[in-house]
Amino acid sequence: MSTTTTIERPIISAEELLTAWQGHRNLTRKVIEAFPEKDMFTFSVGGMRPFADLIKEIITVSAVGLKQIVTGVITPFEDAMPQIKEKADLLQAWDEASEQINVYFPQISAEKFHEDINLFGEYKFPAIENIQYFIDNEIHHRAQAYVYLRALGIEPPFFWDRY
Amino acid sequence: MSTTTTIERPIISAEELLTAWQGHRNLTRKVIEAFPEKDMFTFSVGGMRPFADLIKEIITVSAVGLKQIVTGVITPFEDAMPQIKEKADLLQAWDEASEQINVYFPQISAEKFHEDINLFGEYKFPAIENIQYFIDNEIHHRAQAYVYLRALGIEPPFFWDRY
């Protein structure tokens, strides 16, 4: 069964995943900076949510979700959504969430990464799958903001600019 | 240095990454299916590329890129882009690429995952980082297609529907 052994070997470490995640967060922060404040809370394409609402979701999903994984204290998603109405406050909440991620992520034990957690009382998956979902969800909504920016005539940051 | 040890431990196996990737590919396939053929090759928001061009890029980046990692034979990106003009052919090329990924991915040795490869003669990074980039790039462009679909009045598949 050498093929199976080959496939099943570990290839991404916790540290590498955190680095990749924070790289994505750096890029998302550049997208927030590039977005005009007047459009951030109102502009939409096809009836979708404004960019600020997407960012508030990402802040909640990531930082609050990670805290739930570490502490095991589960609260509903809606209760955790920040009330933010200005661009500067959105950037500050973003930076605070990035710091919290750096604090909480290293506290997750090897066992806990592969244990189920019922995140926000709704999403029961192994912690590692929930975390991968956080990152995928951020890439997904940020990409939608790329289209919003293009529709507004603004060039978004390069996709590879994670620094 | 127990904290460092904790962070550096491996948490994602090659098999888990392949499963996550093919899950994303299943969802992207649903987005291709949902897209009207007449709009697929022409519709744009904000001057961006039509959806078919994004899909052709993903097919090239993923299947051809992975083959380069396995074989070490490097060819330019442009030479690898498929010439496709119909939705049925796009779906067929997508499925063939998904099969090729299942063939090539298990052939990557543990050492090779962390060796640099100059993909398409342009992107010199460790193989694992190139592969993570493939997946991130797919999520990114698929999310843009979600906005296109919404702008066309079509409801996209659920983001979590990877089956």
Q: Count other Cβ atoms within 10 Å, centred on residue B36.
A: 12
Percent of chain A with pLDDT over 90: 87
Burial A117-149 (b: 16+ CB within 10 A, else e): bebbeebeeebbbbbbbbbbbbbbbbbbbbbbb
Question: Between chain A and chain B, how many beta carbons pairs sit less than 8 Å apart?
Answer: 128
Beta carbons of A46 and B11 less than 8 Å apart: no
The SS3 assignment for A114 reads: coil
The pLDDT value given to residue A77: 87
A46 CB within 8 Å of a chain B CB: yes
Mean pLDDT score of chain B: 92
Nearest to B137 by CA among B123, B151, B148: B123
Give per-residue pLDDT as tens, B99-117: 999 999 999 988 899 999 9
Report the pLDDT averaged over residues A68-84: 90
Instruction: Name which residue leads in pLDDT, A24 or A109.
Output: A24
> How crowded is the C-beta side of B27, counted as CA atoms within 13 Å?
23
| Domains of chain B listed by start with CATH number | 14-151 (1.20.120.450)
Predicted confidence (pLDDT) at residue A64 exceeds the cutoff of 60: yes
pLDDT confidence of residue B8: 60
Q: What is the pLDDT of residue B79?
A: 84
Q: What is the dihedral of CA B74, B75, B76, B80, to 10 degrees?
A: -130
d(CA B137, CA A98) in angstroms, rounded, equals 22
| Mutation to test the B interface, candidates A9, A12, A154, most B Cβ within 10 Å | A12
CA distance A82 to chain B (A): 23
Residue A136's alpha-carbon distances to A61, A108, B160, in angstroms, are 11, 20, 10
Q: Is the model more confident about B64 or about B8? A: B64
Q: Which range scores top for mean pLDDT: A9-13, B25-29, B121-125, B158-162? A: B25-29
For residue B7, give both structure tokens. Answer: 């962070």
- In the predicted structure, residue B5 carries a pLDDT above the cut 70: no
pLDDT at A5 > cutoff 80: no
Of A14, A147, A152, the CB nearest to B144: A147
**pLDDT confidence of B70, banded at 50, 70, 90?**
very high
For the residues A44-59, what does the mean pLDDT come to?
96
Distance CA A143, CA B141 (A): 7
Q: CB–CB of B146 and A144 under 8 A? A: yes
Q: Is B103 on the interface with A (CB under 8 A)?
A: no
Residues B37-64: tens digit of each pLDDT: 999 999 999 999 999 999 999 999 999 9
From the CA atom positions of chain A, what is the Rg in Å? 17
ipTM surpassing 0.90: yes
Nearest to A144, CA basis, from B4, B124, B147, B119: B147
Averaged pLDDT, B115-142 = 95
User: Counting beta carbons within 10 angstroms of the beta carbon of residue A66, is it exposed (0 to 12), middle (13 to 18) or buried (19 or more)?
Assistant: buried
Task: Output the pLDDT for position A92.
Answer: 97
**Please, which pLDDT band fits residue B81 given cuts at 50, 70 and 90?**
confident
Q: Under 8 Å CB-to-CB from B49, ≥6 apart: which residues?
A: none
Q: What is the 3-state secondary structure (H, E, C) of A49-103?
A: CCHHHHHHHHHHHHHHHHHHHHHCCCCCHHHHCCCCCCHHHHHHHHHHHHHHHHH
- Is the model's pLDDT at A1 over the cut of 70? no
